Structure 1
Amino acid sequence: MRTVRFLLTGLGNVGVPLLEILQSRASLLMERYRLELLPVGMADSGGAAVSPNGLDLASVLEVKRAKGSVASLPVVGRPGMSGRALVRDVKADLLLEATPTSLKDGQPGLDITRDALLRGMPAVLASKGPLVLGYAELAAMSDLESPGRPALRFSGAAGAAMPLVSLGRGDLALGKLGRFEGVLNNTSHLLLCRMAEGKTYEAALAEAQALGIAETDPSLDVDGWDTASKLVILANAVMRVPTTLKDVAVTGIRGVTRAELDAARAKGGQVLLLARGEPLGGGKWEWSVRPTGVDAAHPLSRLGAMEMGAVFRSDLHGVNTIINAEQGARGTGAAMLKDVLEIFPD
């Protein structure tokens, strides 16, 4: 059995479900993969907790469910200790990075990831900001561009539970990729589905917030920037085309009309907030995120209100469609653990 000591930065919507999965699947990890994941350090907005012998997951989850900080845990708590300090000062074999995303500067996740890679520590990211704003730099510091350097993986950041990076970068290897299309944000898709059923935007948003799917401020979701961020990650990692948010034409769903919704339904389809990458030739691509009416012939036309999906087209592999009944943050946590198993194979 192999023991991997890990650090976790970010104990919010992704970090807590991740720990819940680890707690429930620890025996399976040992039995099937001969792997023990030992948490030696965690950081949240209030500080950190550190123990070289391993933190007790039950205690961590108890304090987080009570809306507290791990810094308040007896003996192991480190009030005021930042995620960067945790990564710089605590000896570990792996970083799991799940801090809130900033699309302005990529922080704090960008610096945390830099520090881990500089220390030779593999990193698994759920945070999109570091990849959107620093992909080229992080790839050069990792095994993505430099074999022998520490691993960098980020399945959960690009597609939550949908294995888009693995499919596009690995399973479709050697294929010449054509048009990519994806519904990559659950909140905006749920709203469009409910609006198509007759609800107002405001009523649909209230339902999504009551379900815990939409944030109090849903701007990143409904204005298309969360989808655009995921498209930028896929453009860089899968299509291998240097791409930034400025390269993506983005239109959100606030302006979608009843006439547009009804016209799509009349054709057996629906309006989707569709991320699209269109190859133009000569290594150039056109990137967009916008509400798009699709008819019954489109692979994503029957996508359910709680589903996300994507379509890859390849000259060697044909049309590959993946649909996931969205598992939210739990799916992102599961994707992070899948990445861990790739880095530390049996």
Structure 2
Amino acid sequence: MRTLKLALLGFGNAGRAFAKILEDKRPAIRETMGWDILVTGITTGSRGSLYAAEGLDLQKAWSELEEKGHFEQSNRAYSTMTSLELVETGEYDVIVEMTPLNIFTGEPASEHLRKAMERKKHAVTANKGPIAWHYKELKALAEKQGVQFYYETTVMDGTPIFNLKDETLRFCQVTEVSGILNTTTNFVLEELAKGKAYEDVLQEGKKLGFVEADPSMDIEGWDAAAKVTALLNVLMEADITPDQVERTGIEHITIEDIKAAEENGKVIKLLCQGTLEAGQVKASVQPTLVEKGSLLAAVEGTSSVVQITTDLMGKLTIIEHDPDLVQTGYGVFSDVLRVVKNFV
């Protein structure tokens, strides 16, 4: 039985969802793949850290966090280790980067990945920042160091977009990418169309968990810009950053705009798009009128969609219907399984 050791940077909702899937599937992984997967370290920003080279008790870890709000100092594995210290000194085979997003720099998540790969460790990230800001550099470093680098969770939770391109669309050139990638703006636009006041919609969304305490990154289109940048960097080798996306959010959309669209048989969606023009990839995020009854118009609530146009397979559409944390956790899990499958 071979052993793969993971170090988890961040243990929020997605991290705990991943840990629960891993713990549930460990017996099947042992039986079918001949590998045991252990977690040796977990770091958080303010709730403490855990480290044990022989492997942590994951159920105890998530139970402490969910019941107490922090790791207990009485835990034998309790540590004051920071994320960077774990990256640089910990014992692990794969770093799993799940720290909070810095949408304007991609740091310190990118530095965590760099330092891990410099140690010849494999890397998985659920953080879109590194893919939006430093993808070309990180990909080159992974190739130089001979390590694997995966990031399926960064755009549409566990939906296999990057895996699809890698495994089943080989030698296809992607010429265009478009989609609805931000669920907050989808929710807000739909609720405004029901005649609700903007502030009331935001408050309702916060209560339901659809809207962040500070929704500006979503409303102003920054989250969508980071997601479409990540897609274009991987699928079209765009080598762009979110600040190069032509970006318009929904903060100036009024009920009058929505009513006018409806009178013309249309709805407003925040559409992400990337096209290849004269050898250059052009990216945009902007409110767009789409026909009622069209596929894009039918994407509602927390669902999202991406359309990929290729030279050999035409246009492919992938819809993720009302995801929850299980899908996000599975995205990380699927990347870890790819490391296991290709481990040398």
Interval containing the TM-score (normalised by the shorter chain): over 0.9
Q: Structure 2: which amino acid aligns with 1:76?
A: A
Q: Structure 2: which amino acid aligns with 1:324?
A: E
TM-score w.r.t. structure 2 length? 0.92
2:228: which partner in 1? 231
Alignment of 1:85-104 (within 5 A): 85-104=85-104
| Cα drift, residue 240 of structure 1 | 0.7
Q: Structure 2: which amino acid aligns with 1:44?
A: T
| Cα drift, residue 268 of structure 1 | 5.0
| Cα drift, residue 111 of structure 1 | 1.5
157-166 or 264-273: bigger deviation:
264-273
Say whether the 8 Å CA contact 2:177–2:232 is kept in structure 1. no
1:130-167 CA-partner distances (Å, limit 9, x unpaired)? 22222122111113xx4x61111101012212222223
Q: Structure 1: which amino acid aligns with 2:164?
A: L
Q: Secondary structure in 2 aligned to 1:344?
A: helix
In 2, distance between residues paired with 1:149 and 1:15? Answer: 26
- The runs of at least 4 aligned residues of structure 1 exceeding 6 Å deviation read none
In 2, distance between residues paired with 1:217 and 1:33? Answer: 43
Structure 1 segments unaligned to the other structure (5+ residues) = none
Q: Is 1:61 paired with 2:58?
A: no
Change (3 A) 1:206 1:70: same
In 2, distance between residues paired with 1:154 and 1:49? Answer: 24
Say whether the 8 Å CA contact 2:110–2:134 is kept in structure 1. yes
Change (3 A) 1:209 1:87: same
1:222: which partner in 2? 219
Change (3 A) 1:170 1:77: same
Q: Is 1:313 paired with 2:314?
A: no
Q: Is 1:165 paired with 2:162?
A: yes
| Cα drift, residue 225 of structure 1 | 0.7
Structure 2 segments unaligned to the other structure (5+ residues) = none
Say whether the 8 Å CA contact 1:272–1:291 is kept in structure 2. yes
1:242: which partner in 2? 239
Q: Structure 2: which amino acid aligns with 1:294?
A: V
Q: Secondary structure in 2 aligned to 1:142?
A: helix
1:97-122 CA-partner distances (Å, limit 9, x unpaired)? 10001123322212211111011110
Q: Structure 2: which amino acid aligns with 1:327?
A: P
Say whether the 8 Å CA contact 1:169–1:237 is kept in structure 2. no
Q: Secondary structure in 2 aligned to 1:70?
A: coil
Change (3 A) 1:199 1:168: farther
Q: Structure 2: which amino acid aligns with 1:7?
A: A
1:254: which partner in 2? 251
Say whether the 8 Å CA contact 2:64–2:72 is kept in structure 1. no
30-39 or 186-195: bigger deviation:
30-39
In 2, distance between residues paired with 1:323 and 1:121? Answer: 33
Say whether the 8 Å CA contact 1:299–1:321 is kept in structure 2. no
Q: Structure 2: which amino acid aligns with 1:26?
A: R
Change (3 A) 1:195 1:28: farther
In 1, distance between residues paired with 2:140 and 2:45? Answer: 29
Change (3 A) 1:275 1:86: same
Query: Which residue of the other structure, out of 329, 333, 337, is the alignment partner of 1:333?
Result: 329
Change (3 A) 1:73 1:279: farther
Q: Secondary structure in 2 aligned to 1:92?
A: coil
In 2, distance between residues paired with 1:304 and 1:131? Answer: 26
Q: Structure 1: which amino acid aligns with 2:94?
A: L
Q: Is 1:27 paired with 2:27?
A: yes
Q: Structure 1: which amino acid aligns with 2:43?
A: A
Alignment of 1:61-210 (within 5 A): 61-66=62-67, 68-70=69-71, 72-79=73-80, 81-143=81-143, 146=144, 149-210=146-207
**Alignment length (residue pairs):** 341
CA RMSD, 1 decimal: 2.0
Change (3 A) 1:118 1:298: same
In 1, distance between residues paired with 2:78 and 2:178? Answer: 45
